């Protein structure tokens, strides 16, 4: 059995806790649905265990361990914060981390009913996050760059899922983002992967942000795309008004990136409908709705 084929069960999680953190081993363990690169298990009421599963390297978990304790204290929404480290062992030769649990329901299984409140909340969170990143902050070849460096990914998603009736409009949005001026100020901290499965909601609004594995120093437009990817129709303009730091070029880049993210969600939904590994059937409608909001503009 290869590492990627190891079955992660509640018994395995408990055994690992007994070996490395025995004071936590008596807490209730419950599987959390979803996850691909990592699998999550609830640990009691306030903690979770993040198990490296399909991620080929521990880089993303180690990045969260290093930087979330730095970022979390100044962010206005709950985020998962590492509290214990699980190291590779003979029983499980991968990394795992005990983190604080962020209460709420993932948006891909919930909804935002209080759109204005969610727009204001998201804007406040991103204002707090988007500060100049230190020189030692991680950079990414996949996230945080100008859209022109992502044309291969966009073309792949576009050719796989874009409906013919809106193809020209979607392509025009992307081309405009590629033509927009670059971010010329110092790179800022970005989450980089804000989509419906990586935020949680409660009481009809945003209540937490999770999965910081893609976080890096880069262009804030990667997060500003959430104005269309996460928020209900008509809320983008309010979001940008409350965020107050996005110029026209940043909005153009963000809108193109939102189109790419919407296509990605549609492709994941399509893969789910086909029963392919990692597919998420409920992401398809979320992606199409995001794309429709992108085409509405700001």
Q: How confident is the model at residue 58, as a pLDDT?
A: 83
Domain that holds residue 85: 10-70+78-100
Q: What is the CATH number of the domain that holds 238?
A: 3.90.1200.10
For every residue of the chain, DSSP letters joined together read --GGG----HHHHHHHHHHH-GGGTTS-EEE-S--SSEEEEEETTTEEEEEE-S-SSSHHHHHHHHHHHHHGGG-SS----EEEEE---SS--S-EEEEE---SEEGGGS----HHHHHHHHHHHHHHH-SBPPTTS---SSSSS-GGGGHHHHHHHHHHH--GGGHHHHHHHHHHHHHSPPP-SPPEEE----SGGGEEEETTEEEEE---TT-EEE-THHHHTHHHHTSPTT-HHHHHHHH----HHHHHHHHHHHHHHHHHHHHHHHHHHTT-TT--TTHHHHHHHHHHHHHH--
Does 4 reside within a domain? Answer: no
Q: How confident is the model at residue 196, as a pLDDT?
A: 96
Does 172 reside within a domain? Answer: yes
Q: What is the CATH number of the domain that holds 52?
A: 3.30.200.20
> Residue 64, CB half-sphere, CA atoms under 13 Å: how many?
26
Mean pLDDT, residues 42-54: 92
Does 250 reside within a domain? Answer: yes
* 158 and 228 share one domain: yes
* 113 and 247 share one domain: yes
* 150 and 87 share one domain: no
Q: How confident is the model at residue 277, as a pLDDT?
A: 82
* 83 and 191 share one domain: no
The pLDDT tens digits for 77-124 are 999 999 999 999 999 999 999 999 999 999 999 999 999 999 999 999
Number of domains, the chain: 2
Q: How confident is the model at residue 35, as a pLDDT?
A: 63
Does 2 reside within a domain? Answer: no
If you average pLDDT over every residue of the chain, what do you get?
94
Cα 140 versus chain centre, distance: 14
Does 87 reside within a domain? Answer: yes
Does 3 reside within a domain? Answer: no
Poorest-pLDDT segment among 44-58, 174-188, 215-229, 242-256: 44-58
Does 5 reside within a domain? Answer: no
Q: How confident is the model at residue 3, as a pLDDT?
A: 44
Q: How confident is the model at residue 141, as a pLDDT?
A: 84
Mean pLDDT, residues 6-29: 95
* 112 and 214 share one domain: yes
Does 1 reside within a domain? Answer: no
Whether 256 shows a pLDDT value over 50: the answer reads: yes
Poorest-pLDDT segment among 128-132, 151-155, 161-165, 266-270: 161-165
């Amino acid at each position: 059995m290869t590492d990627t084929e190891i079955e992660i069960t509640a018994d395995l999680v408990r055994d690992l806790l007994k070996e490395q953190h025995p004071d936590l081993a008596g807490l209730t363990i419950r599987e959390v649905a979803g996850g691909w690169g990592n699998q999550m298990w609830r640990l009691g009421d306030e903690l979770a265990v993040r198990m490296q599963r399909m991620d080929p390297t521990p880089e993303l978990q180690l990045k969260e361990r290093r930087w979330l304790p730095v970022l979390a204290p100044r962010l206005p929404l709950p985020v998962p914060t590492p509290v214990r480290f699980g190291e590779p062992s003979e029983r499980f030769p991968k990394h795992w981390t005990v983190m604080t649990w962020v209460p709420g329901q993932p948006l891909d299984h919930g909804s935002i009913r209080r759109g204005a409140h969610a727009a204001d909340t998201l804007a406040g969170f991103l204002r707090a996050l988007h500060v100049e990143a230190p020189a030692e902050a991680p950079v990414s070849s996949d996230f945080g760059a100008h859209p022109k460096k992502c044309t291969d990914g966009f073309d792949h998603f576009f050719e796989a899922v874009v409906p013919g009736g809106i193809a020209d409009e979607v392509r025009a949005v992307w081309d405009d983002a590629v033509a927009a001026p670059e971010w010329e100020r110092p790179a800022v901290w970005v989450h980089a992967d804000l989509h419906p499965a990586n935020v949680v909601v409660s009481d009809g609004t945003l209540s937490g942000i999770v999965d910081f594995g893609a976080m890096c120093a880069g262009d804030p437009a990667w997060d500003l795309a959430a104005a269309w990817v996460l928020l209900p129709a008509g809320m983008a303009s309010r979001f940008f008004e409350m965020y107050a730091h996005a110029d026209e070029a940043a909005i153009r880049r963000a809108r193109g990136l939102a189109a790419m993210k919407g296509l990605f969600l549609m492709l994941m939904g399509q893969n789910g409908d086909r029963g392919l590994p990692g597919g998420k059937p409920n992401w398809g409608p979320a992606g199409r709705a995001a794309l429709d909001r992108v085409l509405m503009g700001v």
